[in-house]
Structure 1
Amino acid sequence: MAQPFHPTEWPVGFDPDDPNIIMQAARVDRFGELSRPPKLHSHCTGQLVVSVLGVVGLASEHWRIALPPASAIWTPPGLAHEGFIGPNSKSLYLHISPEWSAELPNEPFRIMLTPMMLAMVRHFTQIRNPFSAQSHTGRLARVLLEEIELAPQLPLNFAPLPSNPQLFHVAEKIVEHSALGWTVAQWANSIEMSERNFSRLVVRETGMSFGQWRLRLLMLTATRRLLEGDTTETVAQALGYETPSAFIAAFKRVFGMTPGRYRTEAFVTDTYPFD
């Protein structure tokens, strides 16, 4: 099975660093070989990384974070980073000119996207030439920028991915084998570490307990399967929960809503044309 974390690759012909285009976007579902540590780069433009389906995220010098679908990370101009994506995953990258990016915070932040915001980002995947701020496209760009500004900001670290190679391998295995209900001791043993040292390492690398961190990683699989049309019962079984109600309770702890409501309020992926 292919590993779930790989750096993204731009579609042919897309220039994310064109400062003359106020706003443009790209659909990204291609990936290259993973490098550890990440091969960081930066842009003169600002970048909004939108998770549409599967494992999508962003790495910087200090963190590597996976995003649940329907959310996005803002990357200000000049911030060294590397985007990553998993097999069968989909993402959107919205690039905003340096001048307009100055209206957004100079620090990364995470937001949830409304269906209207997603539709507008998708619209800008068709833009490859400069346009004026006074044009129809320019006015649409202004509305989208204001929507990003006004969206409630969420904690950045939804699902932190560790820099420690052994723990990073654990994260990959959790995502790949979501129903694997190992104890903390078993996970520690899998990388030849004591349970105590393993638990300390998880807290140091992620800022969470192992249980909290594993739950966030499992939710990446849960949201993907829900948006692909799986029932709550099917997803609960796939993730190793004994009952659907136990899965629903865990889901609500993370997202503040039931899986059914999440599926209704998040954007629908079968209306998202990648082909």
Structure 2
Amino acid sequence: MVRSSRGEASPGMWRREAGTVVRRALELPERAADSPDPFVIIAGLRVPRVPTEWAPHSHPRHELVWVRGGTLTSRVEDRVFTVSQGHGLWMPAGVVHGGRATAGAEFHDAFFAPERTPFAFAFAEPTAIAMTPLLESLLTHLSRTDLDAAARARAESVVFDVIQPSQHRLALQLPGDARIDAIAEALLDDPADCRSLEEWARWLGISDRTITRAFRLATGLSFAQWRQVLRVHRALTLLSEGLDVATVSEMLGYAQPSSFIAAFRRVMGTTPGAFFDAADGTAQGVRNPVSGVQNT
């Protein structure tokens, strides 16, 4: 569990924002209670008015969550997932996770009955999902309460045809190694901390080679690569809140915006502008799959 510099325990990875409301668990829609029902997929929507954090919990059903106009961060053991508009997160039934949503984000969720979810689509691990216009439209359609059984069955079957993992790196592996966890916690608290590998080694009283080997073994990345991925994850939240690239670059410790853009491209495979333009296009293109009417 990461603690911020203010000593607040948090299931997320970043310093908790002022005014954050902490809830014990994300409540399932009434129709997704444990009692049997005829629906494979139950979808819903909520809009947290303030930054909202959910303490570690699990659900009896598979869960797919996604946001519009904000960011969702979820902590699962030693992994942190950051999903912004255009992407979602599949959480298998029974997996303990904590989460955090930014204020004002449209927070969408869909719960899948495990016993009726095709095995090929019941991802065994938390997985970032590409929220294509068709997938989002189908799940929005399934949030309706007036669908007859045949219409619901048709929409549910198409969901399983189109759901696919995201191609972007939306998970950050935390070290989980007592020798270097203090570095990870310090950088989670302040991603702009620019101390060199040698300075971190002196701070911990160990060799820089030990730090390098520990990061490689625990995360598959060098220390410099891991810090770069962490900063890009933090940038996803800051950019989704409307901050410009120059401001985010400075906040994350980059000397020039061009350096930040290059780092973002290395991690995400595209520039910040293209990444969020694609997400905006996805949201604007969401249509009701039955009526063809644009959702607003």
1:101 aligns to 2:114 (yes or no):
no
Contact map agreement 1:8 1:85 (CA 8 A) in 2: no
TM-superposed CA distance for 1:101, in Å, is: 1.6
- Does 2:31 correspond to 1:31? no
SS at match of 1:265: helix
Shift of 1:10: 1.1
Render the CA deviation track for 1:192-221: whole Å, top value 9, x for unaligned. 543222222222222221122111111122
8 Å CA contact retained: 2:83, 2:170: no
Q: Aligned AA for 1:239?
A: L
Partner Cα separation in structure 2 for residue 207 and residue 18 of structure 1? 43
Distance (whole Å) between structure 1 residues aligned to residue 134 and residue 203 of structure 2: 45
Q: How does 1:51-66 map to 2 (within 5 A)?
A: 53-54=70-71, 56-59=73-76, 63-66=78-81
2:156 to 141, 146, 150: 141
Are 2:271 and 1:258 equivalent residues in the alignment?
yes
**Alignment correspondent of 1:81:** 96
Q: 1:212 aligns with which of 225, 231, 245?
A: 225
Partner secondary structure for residue 53 of structure 2: coil
TM-score normalised to structure 2 length: 0.69
Change (3 A) 1:215 1:260: same
Shift of residue 238, structure 1, vs aligned partner: 1.5
Distance in 2 (CA, whole Å) between partners of 1:142 and 1:59 is 29
Q: Equivalents in 1 of 2:112, 2:178: separation in Å?
A: 34
Cα distance in 2 between the residues matched to 1:86 and 1:3: 16
**What is the alpha-carbon distance in structure 1 between the residues aligned to residue 92 and residue 210 of structure 2?**
36
Conserved? CA contact 2:174–2:184, under 8 Å: yes
Residue 233 of structure 1 corresponds to which residue in structure 2?
246
Shift of 1:142: 3.1
Shift of 1:167: 4.4
Q: How does 1:99-248 map to 2 (within 5 A)?
A: 99-103=115-119, 104-108=121-125, 109-118=127-136, 120-121=138-139, 126=143, 133-135=149-151, 137-148=152-163, 151-152=164-165, 154=167, 158-164=171-177, 167-248=180-261
Q: Residues 81 and 171 of structure 2 are in contact (CA less than 8 Å); yes or no, is this contact kept in structure 1?
A: yes
Partner SS for 2:217: helix
Q: Which runs of 5+ in 2 are unaligned?
A: 1-5, 13-22, 285-296
Output the TM-score relative to the length of structure 1.
0.73
Q: CA deviation at 1:121?
A: 4.1
Structure 1 residues 211-270: Cα deviation after superposition (integer angstroms, max 9, x where no partner) = 2211111112211222222222222122111111111111111111111111111148x9
Letter in 2 for 1:141: E
CA separation in 1, counterparts of 2:63 and 2:76?
A: 13
- Asked if 1:47 corresponds to 2:63, the answer is yes
CA distance in 2, matches of 1:205, 1:257: 26
Give the Cα separation in 2 of the matches to 1:228 and 1:157: 17
Asked if 1 retains the 8 angstrom alpha-carbon contact of 2:88 and 2:130, the reply is yes
Q: State, as a whole percentage, how many aligned pairs show the same letter.
A: 25
The CA deviation string for residues 100-136 of structure 1, in whole angstroms up to 9 with x for no partner, is 4225145334332234534554555x46x7966413x
